[in-house]
Amino acid sequence: MKRSAPPGSRRPRRPTALAAHGLGARKLRRKEQQRAINTRVLILRAALSEFSQQGFEAASIRNIAERIGVKHPLITYHYKTKDILWRAVAEHVFSEIRNLWDQQASPDSDLPPIERVRAEYRTLLRFTLEYPDFHHFMLRESRPHNPRLAWLVTRHLKPLLKGRLMPQLKAAQRARQLPKADPALIHYMLIGMISVLSSLADEIRLVAGISPHDPRVVDNYWQLIELAVFRAPSFADPN
């Protein structure tokens, strides 16, 4: 005897073949999208190494493909030209820096300026060790009259320095927690100190017998920066 459903109730509907097909298609699309994202990140990191080691002119998309064991048309599928790929590399690394900064010192947090400065430059130190080619990538593009440097300055360097870091450095100076000097010079002094472990990694390893990527070495090096920059006595106004 066939039972009827209680009044006002509905029998649960089984997914139709069409609905199941749609769900499977969406899952497949998500997997394909994630695979494409992973492929692009792999390409960008290999391209960062190629551009930093060979320079833009000598860098080759074929060499980048060989670095990650893929056919070079896969790279040109995602990035049509070497110039587009170079810009994508720059966008990727600076986006990573911003994301890490936001995690450690969100613009909406109530951290004091000196603590924000400390957090962001320490984060940058760790970033340079995770992306050891970044410093050399930037050095190669710092030549005068380089059109790519002009793009980097307009697109990333000025907005980061003047829009984010400079106000924090100035506020820390007003609190007499940083030297009274051009804050841009303080920024580049810190950049120089931070980049040493990545830019001289091989020399440090061969001469001093220590690994710049050893977490204990990184912590000790940051402690030196702390002592030299952040833990000095309050900077009194000489005037």
CATH of the domain at 105: 1.10.357.10
Q: Does some domain include residue 125?
A: yes
The distance in angstroms from the start CA to the end CA of the chain is 101
In the predicted model, what is the mean pLDDT of residues 44-59?
96
Q: Does some domain include residue 109?
A: yes
The string over 138-153, giving b where at least 16 C-beta atoms fall within 10 Å of a residue's C-beta and e elsewhere, is bebbeeeeeebbebbe
Query: For residues 96 and 28, which has the higher predicted lDDT (pLDDT)?
Result: 96
How many residues make up the chain in this entry? 239
- Residue 4 pLDDT level (bands cut at 50, 70, 90): low
pLDDT at 227 over 70: yes
Give yes or no for a contact between 205 and 212, defined as CB atoms under 8 angstroms apart. yes
Radius of gyration of the chain, Cα coordinates, nearest whole angstrom? 25
Q: Does some domain include residue 142?
A: yes
pLDDT at 61 over 60: yes
Q: Does some domain include residue 112?
A: yes
Q: CA 144, 146, 149, 154 torsion: positive or negative? A: positive
What pLDDT was estimated at residue 90?
97
Q: Does some domain include residue 94?
A: yes
Q: How far apart are CA 59 and CA 48, in angstroms?
A: 10
| Domain that includes residue 167, residue range | 82-230
Query: For residues 233 and 202, which has the higher predicted lDDT (pLDDT)?
Result: 202
Domain total in the chain: 1
Q: Does some domain include residue 73?
A: no
- The percentage of residues in the chain with a pLDDT greater than 70, rounded to a whole number, is 82
Q: Is 217 buried (19+), middle (13-18) or exposed (0-12) by CB count in 10 A?
A: middle
Q: Does some domain include residue 74?
A: no
pLDDT at 112 over 80: yes
Q: Does some domain include residue 48?
A: no
